[in-house]
Amino acid sequence: RVVVVGSANVDVVVEVPHHPRDGETVLGGDVRRTPGGKGANQAVAATRGGGAETTFVGAVGRDESAELLLSSLERAAVRTDLVDRVDAATGTALITVAPDGGNAIAVAPGANSHVRVDAARSARIAEADVVLLQLEIPVDVVRSAAAAKRPDGRVVLNAAPSRRLPAGVWSLVDILVVNETEAADLAGGLPGPTTTGTGLDDTTVDPAALVEALLDRVPAVVVTLGAEGSLVAERGKRPLAIPALPVRAVDTTGAGDTYCGVLAAALSRGASLDDAARLATAAGALAVTCPGAQDAIPTAADVAALAAG
Q: Tell me how crowded residue 30 is: count the other CB atoms within 10 A of its CB.
A: 7
Binding to ligand ADP by CB under 6 A, coded x per residue (else -) over 251-270, reads -x--xx--x-----------
**79 secondary structure, DSSP code:** B
Could you say which of 94, 139, 190, 227 contacts ligand ADP (CB under 6 A)?
A: 227
Window contacting ligand ADP (CB under 6 A); options: 10-18, 24-32, 61-69, 218-226: 218-226
Q: Distance between CA atoms of 271 and 238, rounded to whole angstroms?
A: 18
Could you say which of 138, 161, 219, 226 contacts ligand ADP (CB under 6 A)?
A: 226
102 versus 122: smaller Cβ distance to ligand ADP: 102
- CB burial string 70-96: b at 16+ within 10 A, e below: bebbeebebbbebbeebebbbbbbebb
CB of 86 to ligand ADP, least distance (A): 27
The interface with ligand ADP within residues 158-187 (CB under 6 A) comprises: 179
Half-sphere exposure of 183 (CA within 13 A, CB side): 32
β-strands 91-97, 103-108 pairing: antiparallel
Is residue 153 within the footprint of ligand ADP (CB under 6 A)?
no
The closest residue (CB) to ligand ADP is 256
Determine the size of the site formed for ligand ADP (CB under 6 A): 19
- Asked if 257 is an active-site residue, the reply is yes
Q: Distance between CA atoms of 258 and 296, rounded to whole angstroms?
A: 9
β-strands 154-158, 130-133 pairing: parallel
The interface with ligand ADP within residues 27-56 (CB under 6 A) comprises: none
Measured in degrees and rounded to the nearest 5, phi and psi for residue 54 equal -130, 135
Site residues (vs ligand ADP, CB under 6 A): 179, 224-227, 229-230, 244-245, 247, 249, 252, 255-256, 259, 281, 284-285, 288
